[in-house]
Amino acid sequence: MYGKFLVEGDKSVRELLHSTFKIDAIYGLSEWIAAHKAGNCEVHTATQAELTELSTHDHPDQVVAVAEIPPLISDALSASQLYIACDRLNDPGNAGTIIRIADWFGIAAVIFSENSVDAFNPKVVSATKGSLFRVKVMTADLEVLFKDNAALPVLGAYMEGENIYKAKLPDHGILLIGNEANGIGAELSNFITQKVSIPSFGGAESLNAGVATGIIVSEWRRQLS
């Protein structure tokens, strides 16, 4: 509604300070304020009790900031890059982990469907551990996105698909990760050019979306190295 989001804790706020995000205000303990140059924004000294009132955490770590949400409108994708798309991803922890994975592996952007968790939800922001400020995040109608970027291969993560360690993966494209409980929506299946899966060697029923994304992207990068 206001186009703002909270950034909580020492590490995340320090990452924010080194980003291009516009910061509205910082509220921190006096020693934190004294130790860090905050730039062109309001800076307020706060007590630990006041930080607790501002924060979504029970024990906020020294500082809380308010920043502006950048535009999340999708745009044309590059035909030579790797992307991650998330279909109806609900869990903030998974969303944050996937953004961190994108940061680690140099993924061009993470694209969330319009009915996924908000990438600027405080829990997602915290889970990214600062990677949110380095990774391009987009929100899109995935059907429209895939139609508009039909030249890009789409890898779909399924329980039944080609073994990721035996499959020949493309040198560019989009990895589509589905909903934690229901997988990839049927309406998107026609856009998938290659179904891939992670082989199981034990008895676990499944992997969570964040872990599965990390394994697939790691193998994708390995094949391209």
d(CA 126, CA 128): 5
Name the 3-class secondary structure at 175.
Answer: strand
Residues 53 and 90 grouped into a single domain:
no
Number of domains in the chain: 2
Q: Give me the mean pLDDT over the 71-84 stretch.
A: 81
Residues 204 and 127 grouped into a single domain:
yes
Give the burial string for 63-99 (b: 16+ CB within 10 Å, else e).
Answer: bbbbbeeeebebeebeeeebbbbbbbbebbebbbbbb
* CATH number (domain holding residue 35): 3.30.1330.30
pLDDT band at 75 (very low <50, low <70, confident <90, very high): low
Q: Is residue 74 part of a domain?
A: no
Q: Is residue 88 part of a domain?
A: yes
For position 72, what pLDDT does the model report?
63
pTM of this structure: 0.93
Residues 56 and 90 grouped into a single domain:
no
On the question of pLDDT at 125 being above 70, the answer is: yes
Residues 201 and 137 grouped into a single domain:
yes
On the question of pLDDT at 201 being above 80, the answer is: yes
Residues 127 and 33 grouped into a single domain:
no
Q: Count other C-beta atoms under 10 Å from residue 10's C-beta.
A: 16
pLDDT band at 88 (very low <50, low <70, confident <90, very high): very high
Q: Is residue 77 part of a domain?
A: no
pLDDT above 70 covers a percentage of the chain that reads 98
pLDDT in tens, 27-71: 999 999 999 988 789 999 999 999 999 999 999 999 999 999 987
Q: Which domain, by its residues, includes 119?
A: 82-224
Q: Is residue 45 part of a domain?
A: yes
